[in-house]
Structure 1
Amino acid sequence: MQLELILEQPGISISYDHDLQWQYVNWQGVHDSASSRQGCLLMLEAMRLRPAAKILNDNSNITYTSVYLTEWSLNWLREMHTAGLRYLAWVYAPVFPERQATEAIVQYLSNPTVASFDDVANAYNWLLRQHVSPGV
């Protein structure tokens, strides 16, 4: 696995996996709405620097989050789709109070397609199976 670090700030690092041709986003520590928005904006910047149709969004190293999906989040996802994102594998944080509400929304997202997981292995395997049409 050859990862190229694209962007990094406290609590998040974003790398590009050359072998798999997707971004790997590793969130760490505690996150609230403000730090999550900042991280999401960093993800959008990374998409513009190193476009990828797939992202493995790993929240398994988050120790606590109070984040929930909002209209801002949905607009951000639309911007990510415009920037080229087609598939987002979202590994939930171990402690995620808003999980049930989030899953109720995530299942209806299609541009990009978002799938949620409890572990990196299942997210990785799902992302591998997603086909991206050339030129998309």
Structure 2
Amino acid sequence: MAMHSLFDSPHLTIWHDCTNHWLYVEWKGQLDLEVIKESCNYVLQNVPLTGFNKVLNDSTQAVGNWTAASEWLGQELFPLLSTVGFKYMAWVYATDFNSRFSIDSTLRCATSLAIVTFDDLDAAYTWLQHADELHAA
């Protein structure tokens, strides 16, 4: 898998997966509303230029309870991502219980993207490779 780095910070790394033409987003460390908004605003300002419609959202290394960001993500960020062309998100759960709970809280607020959660990266990768076919049926 050929990857090209687009952004790197202590809490978020974004790569262009050159083989699959999607974004690979990796969240790391203690997350909170401020960190999430700052990171996602970078994404909104720069990622639409890529023309991708899929994102592999890896939260395996995220920790903490960031449910304060759930509503903002589901009702503001995800609709904006949809507006700029994103359709599919494979979201890999955090191993940290609090962060996993925060992901579930976010998904209850999300309506604009096809988002499927996974416990492992390989399953998420496989689903995202076939998301267009699966949702066309």
Structure 1: runs of 5 or more not aligned: none
Question: In 1, Cα distance between the equivalents of 2:108 and 2:127?
Answer: 15
TM-score under structure 1 length normalisation? 0.83
RMSD: 2.2
SS for the counterpart of 2:98 is coil
TM-score under structure 2 length normalisation? 0.82
Q: Deviations over 1:55-93 (max 9, x none)?
A: 00001122x121125332121100000111100111121
User: Percent of pairs identical after alignment?
Assistant: 27
Structure 2: runs of 5 or more not aligned: none
Structure 2 counterpart of 1:20: 20
Equivalent positions of 1:1-136 (< 5 A) are 1-62=1-62, 64-68=63-67, 70-73=70-73, 74-97=75-98, 99=100, 102-103=103-104, 106=107, 109-131=110-132
Question: In 1, Cα distance between the equivalents of 2:132 and 2:92?
Answer: 20
Question: In 2, Cα distance between the equivalents of 1:34 and 1:108?
Answer: 18
In proportion to residue count, which structure has more helix?
2
Provide the aligned length of Structure 1 versus Structure 2: 131
